[in-house]
Chains A and B, each alone.
Chain A
Amino acid sequence: MSSKDLLPNDGLSEIDQEFFCQAPPEYISPLPKPIEDFMNWARSESLFILAFGTGCGAIELRPLTTSRFDMYQYGIQMRATPRQSSVFIVGGYASVKTLKRIVRSYEQMQGPKFVVTLGSCPINGGMYWDSYNTINRIDHYLPIDISICGCMPRPESILAGFVELKKMIRAGQCDGANLYAKNFAWYKANQKRIIKDWNMPDYNW
């Protein structure tokens, strides 16, 4: 790898730099089609959600674990660590401060990974569209697979969204991790334009 591919990691102290990745994410080609189809089926039937509520919409996510909705029957589970999760949920408006955490958590997840947004705010800012500290379009900072609209979407809508996400994964349409790797420079530039105090690694796997 040439030196221009290396990340600057300017935000880190010299001691911290060796703890983090010095190479950007890479595009990973899918496996031969029959195997990839089978893996996509497994990925769609085993969705591990990162239990990280970023905004008010996360409150509508909790009922999915209860007896009334029970998302476990659809192969959807909560996972407490980004390492093991495959679905990241942006649960409503994303403030500048939260965007930092969103980026760090998303980058720690292992591919293939999927991003779902809840509510209107991540799409166009919603009722916070002119707020000084809220992001209007989250898809400028992360590749989004599916957006569930509403203010806020009810648990039924969220379940319907997950069913749709599963169909898309099975069809091989959710390749966000590769999209992120391909357009890494663009995403990173957008993120750095918003996050002024960049005191974290440039790519933190």
Chain B
Amino acid sequence: MGPLGLKIIYTLITLVICGVYGLLLGAFMAKTMARVQGRIGIPLHQPFVDIIKNYGKRTAISHGIMFYLGPVFRLTGGIGTLVFIPVIFGSEYFSNFSVAGDLLLVMYFIFFGQLGMALGASEGGHPYSPIGIARGLAQMCAFEVPFALAIIAIAIQYNTFSITEIVAAQQGGILSWTFFTNPFAVVAALLAMLGMNMYPPFSIVLAPQEIPIGPPTEYHSAYLGMLQSNRAIFAAAKLVLFMNLFFGGATNFPVLVLKTWAIYMCSVLVGAAFPRFRPEETIRFFLRWPTVIGIVGLLFAKYYLI
């Protein structure tokens, strides 16, 4: 087997590890929220059982080709995001298919899944699906502004769009991390991440008590299983991306778990403390302070760091 074959196998292993890790993080979030509310909460293996059950349903229906393709696009978006991000810095095999300019590709993949899901979910015909999609796309446009500003800031700072090179530039001590060299960009990106993860107060897309339950209202059985798998993989991929861009990357799995878990805690702590925004509030939120901080980060990178 050539190096490419080995690389594909290691990428598949990475997918499985990140999927399992993402599911555990989801369970950890649910458990934490339950504890905050004074409940015992779900067992940590609950998301795994849910996925097995959904894949094992005996019947499934389709509302058309796009309905069928929605979860496929969503999962492609999640997997695509992960396979182009180097998971372990310096590792020949766990660096996946990282190439020059992969940062742009990854940003595209983050959009791709949501757009695919938007097309698929609307074919379900349920009125709550388009409402959820409209909310989701509006929120995505809003949080992409600070996120894109942060990405441009670090692209200027490191003069590259390669994630591997960005991680390499942050080696050599904790003070080399983007978190310390350009804290404005990192804060803007972390605020955008709160919106990306869609936990409270930015949980306007699924919004269980308002538009039960948004875009996936008509999705069931294996479709739902695919969406749940994607949620886990995508969550892990985003955390790895943030760790690489802003927190110096990881040279082994324990460091990766520690750093991504710490980043995830931002969402957990904010999610446990704040109630849900209204759609217009969340959009206003992202277009105010996070955007201003993002612009400051950009100017800081352009006129101070270079």
Contacts and interface: CB of A to CB of B under 8 A. Distances in A.
A83 B217 contact: yes
A70 B39 contact: yes
Contacts of B57: 110-112
Interface residues of B, number: 31
| Secondary structure class of chain B's binding surface, majority of residues | loop
Given A28-B59, A67-B38, A81 B43 contact: no
Given A80-B208, A83-B220, A110-B60, A42 B49 contact: yes
B104 interface: no
B8 interface: no
A111 B213 contact: no
B288 interface: no
A81 B212 contact: yes
A67 B39 contact: yes
B49 A75 contact: yes
Interface in A28-58: 28, 39, 42-43, 45-46, 51
| Secondary structure class of chain A's binding surface, majority of residues | loop
Interface string B198-237: 0000000000100011001111110010000000000000
Given A75-B46, A81-B213, A177 B52 contact: no
A84 interface: yes
B219 A70 contact: no
A148 B94 CA distance: 53
Contacts of B224: 84
Contacts of B34: 70, 72
B53 A86 contact: yes
Contact of B37 (A67, A79, A205): A67
Contact of B43 (A67, A75, A84, A110): A75
Interface in B129-171: none
B279 interface: no
A110 B212 contact: no
A73 interface: yes
Contact of B220 (A51, A80, A110): A110
B53 A81 contact: no
Contacts of B217: 80-81, 83
A43 B59 CA distance: 14
A45 B202 CA distance: 30
Contacts of B101: none
Contacts of B42: 72-73, 75, 77
Nearest to B213: A80
Contacts of A66: 39
A104 to B, nearest CB: 14
Interface string A74-90: 01010111011010000
B216 to A, nearest CB: 8
Interface string A163-175: 0000000000000
A111 B58 contact: yes
Interface in B73-130: 126
B255 interface: no
B50 interface: yes
Contacts of A205: 59, 61
Interface in B34-66: 34, 37-43, 46, 49-50, 52-53, 56-61
B58 A112 contact: yes
Contacts of B40: 70, 72-73
Nearest to A81: B217
Contacts of A46: 46, 49-50, 52-53
A177 B219 CA distance: 19
A199 B125 CA distance: 20
A64 B224 CA distance: 25
A110 B46 CA distance: 20
Contacts of B216: 84
Interface string A5-26: 0000000000000000000000
B272 to A, nearest CB: 15
B41 A70 contact: yes
Contacts of B220: 83-84, 110
Top-8 shortest CB links A-B: A80-B212, A67-B38, A83-B220, A39-B56, A70-B39, A42-B52, A46-B53, A73-B40
Interface of B: 30, 34, 37-43, 46, 49-50, 52-53, 56-61, 126, 208, 212-213, 216-221, 224
6 contacts: A46-B53, A67-B39, A73-B42, A75-B42, A81-B218, A83-B219
Interface of A: 28, 39, 42-43, 45-46, 51, 66-67, 70, 72-73, 75, 77, 79-81, 83-84, 86, 110-112, 177, 205
